[in-house]
Structure 1
Amino acid sequence: MHAADPSSPPVFRFAPSPNGQLHLGHALSAILNHDMAKAVGGRFLLRIEDIDVTRCTPEFEQAVYDDLTWLGLDWESPVRRQSEHIAHYQSALDGLIEMGLAYPAFMTRGEVKAAVAKAEADGTAWPRDPDGAPLYPTDDRHVSETERQTRITSGARHAWRLDMAKAISIASDGLSWNEEGDGEKGVITADVSAWGDVVLWRSDAPSSYHLSVVLDDALQRVTHVVRGLDLFQSTAVHRLLQRLLDLPEPRYHHHRLILGADGRKLSKSEGSTGLATLREEGASPSDIRRLVGIGAG
């Protein structure tokens, strides 16, 4: 594991996906990263996580720049765009495949749903991840290499998943992270088994959030990951991948979420909290800081 260079300035990043308008929750995260970097003489980076080419658009990407500029935030150039670095993620995936830690997963969402429904109808409680999604069945772990290659060659649609059992056996001992955020603080034990065989490379888009985020953070020398509490549990997966890929360990700060009127975290579909909408209605950058509970920068 590589240690951060203590002589280098701290590095913070804001990494939105341009698949909708930024809302107040994004504003909180962007402002926190910007202000925390400024307070310690660090660097503030903007990363565009645009792997999902079916939902991410140039218009939404430009809106990110417009919103952050309006908020008075400034970031380093050039901006890293994930869509320009697919080969880097592919190389890391290939390494995990060579280590025997990733396998092709052929089951469709419908097949997984049917397997879960059948098991639960028979009285078996199907395990679910911290986000509430059912874990992927382990059947594809045991498919022979010959059959895998035959199915891939024939054009069978598939994703690549991490063999969590193997990964745990070689890399989970003493796995933890340093947490400085708004929830639980201190050294947090990483419970990776709760996530099952997570997706590393999707069938409908290159790479996955888990794989690309740890690679980008390492390449950009990010020292402080500041993001919402909804990603707190995901940090266990990220720490596991960092260890498997021999990547540096950043410090983590998971901040409170901005909730909507229904008590749930905001989504990009809620136009009433969109920064562009609020700006058009006459809100100022100071108003946004007040709405998310942050003082003037």
Structure 2
Amino acid sequence: MPLSDVAVRAVSGPNSRHAALLEDAFHVLIETPGGGVTIKGDARARAGVKRAIETLAQRAEAGAEVTEADVRASAAAARAGESVAHGVLPVGRRGPIVPKTSAQARYLEMLEQHELTFGIGPAGTGKTFLAAAYGATLLLKGAVDRLVITRPAVEAGERLGFLPGDLTEKVDPYLIPIWAALDEILGAEAVRRRRDKGEIEVAPVAFMRGRTLSHSFVIVDEAQNLSRLQMKMVLTRLGEGARMVVTGDPSQVDLVNPRDSGLSHAVGILTNVKGVAVARFEAADVVRHKLVERIVRAYDADLAAKAKPE
């Protein structure tokens, strides 16, 4: 199949590692002569690997980085007969950010089309990273005035006063994943400047009460650790021109009483409300190290086994 030079390099990968992953996934032989890729194998396998290669080629030609995680995700989508839509976020220090899986693509579409989106699923599926990337995109093009990030500080019981420093310093230990994502997307210096200008704001859940967030993009992370009352309070902070994304994993509740978690409750009562969307991720959508998917599946299997009646 003919491909551009940049696409061929992406499909081949460093030391032909990407091609080797595709060969193992589809039991085919891949060669990359000048000007394209040749595939040897049975017809069904060739059709599947061709879909995966087309996805990788589109990522590369959009200017996005192609990693081993992208190769595995594209192969999984191709085997499942799914296609990955290509909503491109034009931010990222390593090039535009493109969804790696069909679930991520649907998630970006929901963020675009709804005022409130829930991103539900296991760790490593890109829920928080894509939310941060989408919010950064809105901020950079002036569609919102602020990017507001809130996350429950469960270990401190939301009582942050005893911690040293100002508000940002008190909350930062609980927001490291968000800052890491923003640093990766915008660069540490750009994040610092926008924080200093108030365009990127830390807003711990304990300090959200009584506020109205207008013309803002709000990320509520680790929302499984919000109580039902906290969840209602946070959701009702939305003001004019604001959007919100709520991310979390209902299987990782750290509250003293897990049944008090507001995430599953909110999803259950708001699913059919106009303006609300729910994106659900599964173990197959994990885009971190390949071992993470297997770990998530093992825990899911253990939970399912315990739930069966004796």
TM range (shorter): under 0.3
Higher relative contact order (CA 8 A, sep 6+): 1
TM-score (norm 2): 0.25
